[in-house]
């Protein structure tokens, strides 16, 4: 197994039980040759990923954010920019009106909130990024003028209401939207046309002289399936969904047990090129 790039999901995969990078993963990544790309692939916004790249001892790495909807090269060039149209975002907001579902809107480098509550503060704590306060209707107006849309709509709330919303949107917009329940209380919505795998292909084609077969990738959830299937060696952490484990070439330890680090240590100990 000769791997030339490392790609990983973040939450539930790379981070430990306190949602941080363990000394063990930092140490093993620190042993990679400096030319080896360390590519994070997440539903997070770019700024919620950059501090992790720095903590891994790297700088100026490509980023696959919003599950592949907004992809940046190592120099910050936008390689992919696919968003949910404003009218569809407006429909999501209309459907959730009258419920207790919290809606967060993301576009590029910006995160918009109109409520400062448990859910928004939870995301601030987990991602170490602060939001911009703006009413949702003003965000839609801003996007309409700029001919842009949402790279991600995050819906958070009671599990029953989230399940109901998933059903409503899946019934009408399964062909347009990627609906991803990252937990019982979270529904992350992205454009259907993109994935972490499409984002990685964009990066490799733009910056590197090797293909997907030279990448080792890690993941845990439904939005990682395409990625793990598309690379040379796809690894599921022990806490991964059964469907993710089914497509992986290897199942490692639980993310709370440093599964990513464990696999990388084994590969390096075998003197395999990374």
Is residue 274 a part of any domain in this protein? no
Q: Each residue's pLDDT tens digit in the chain (274 positions)?
A: 579 999 999 999 999 999 999 999 999 999 999 999 999 999 999 999 999 999 999 989 999 999 999 999 999 999 999 999 999 999 999 999 999 999 999 999 999 999 999 999 999 999 999 999 999 999 999 999 988 999 999 999 999 999 999 999 999 999 999 998 888 999 999 999 999 999 999 999 999 999 999 999 999 999 999 999 999 999 999 999 999 999 999 999 999 999 999 999 999 887 544 4
Which one of 147, 169, 191 terminates a domain?
191
| Counted domains in the chain | 2
For residues 92 and 50, state if they share a domain.
no
Structural domain harbouring 28: 5-81+194-269
For residues 76 and 125, state if they share a domain.
no
For residues 101 and 147, state if they share a domain.
yes
For residues 76 and 205, state if they share a domain.
yes
For residues 62 and 99, state if they share a domain.
no
pLDDT of residue 273: 46
Token representation of residue 158: 């009671």
pLDDT of residue 223: 93
For residues 182 and 205, state if they share a domain.
no
Question: What CATH number has the domain bearing residue 216?
Answer: 3.40.50.1000
Which one of 191, 207, 227 terminates a domain?
191
For residues 262 and 200, state if they share a domain.
yes
For residues 12 and 69, state if they share a domain.
yes
pLDDT of residue 147: 86
Is residue 12 a part of any domain in this protein? yes
pLDDT of residue 1: 58
Question: What CATH number has the domain bearing residue 99?
Answer: 3.30.1240.10
Is residue 181 a part of any domain in this protein? yes
* pTM reported for the whole predicted model: 0.94
Which one of 144, 164, 191 terminates a domain?
191
Question: Is residue 233 within 8 Å of 266, Cβ to Cβ?
Answer: no
How far is 103 from 108, CA to CA, in rounded Å? 17
pLDDT of residue 269: 84
For residues 163 and 175, state if they share a domain.
yes
pLDDT of residue 270: 75
Q: What is the C-alpha end-to-end distance of the chain, expressed in Å?
A: 9
For residues 178 and 141, state if they share a domain.
yes
For residues 47 and 95, state if they share a domain.
no
For residues 229 and 184, state if they share a domain.
no
């Amino acid at each position: 197994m000769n791997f030339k790039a490392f790609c990983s999901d973040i939450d539930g995969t790379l981070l430990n039980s306190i949602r941080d990078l363990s000394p063990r993963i930092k140490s093993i990544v620190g042993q990679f040759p400096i030319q080896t790309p360390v590519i994070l692939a997440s539903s997070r916004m770019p700024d919620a990923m950059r501090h992790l790249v720095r903590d891994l001892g790297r700088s100026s790495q490509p980023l696959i954010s919003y599950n592949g909807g907004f992809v940046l090269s190592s120099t910050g060039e936008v390689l992919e920019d696919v968003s949910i149209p404003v009218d569809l975002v407006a429909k999501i907001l209309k459907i959730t009106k009258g419920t207790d579902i919290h809606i967060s809107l993301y576009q590029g480098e910006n995160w918009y909130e109109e409520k400062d509550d448990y859910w928004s503060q939870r995301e601030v704590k987990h991602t170490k990024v602060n939001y911009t306060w703006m009413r949702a209707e003003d965000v839609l107006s801003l996007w309409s003028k700029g001919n842009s849309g949402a790279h991600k709509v995050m819906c958070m709330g009671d599990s029953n209401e989230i399940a109901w919303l998933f059903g409503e949107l899946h019934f009408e917009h399964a062909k347009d939207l990627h609906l991803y329940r990252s937990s019982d209380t979270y529904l992350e919505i992205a454009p259907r046309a993109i994935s972490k795998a499409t984002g990685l292909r964009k990066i490799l084609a733009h910056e590197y002289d090797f293909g997907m077969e030279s990448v080792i990738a890690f993941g845990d959830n439904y939005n990682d399936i395409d990625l793990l299937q598309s690379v040379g060696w796809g690894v599921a952490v022990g806490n991964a969904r059964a469907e993710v484990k089914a497509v992986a070439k290897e199942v490692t330890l639980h993310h709370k047990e440093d599964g990513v680090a464990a696999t990388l240590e084994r590969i390096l100990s075998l003197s395999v090129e990374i």
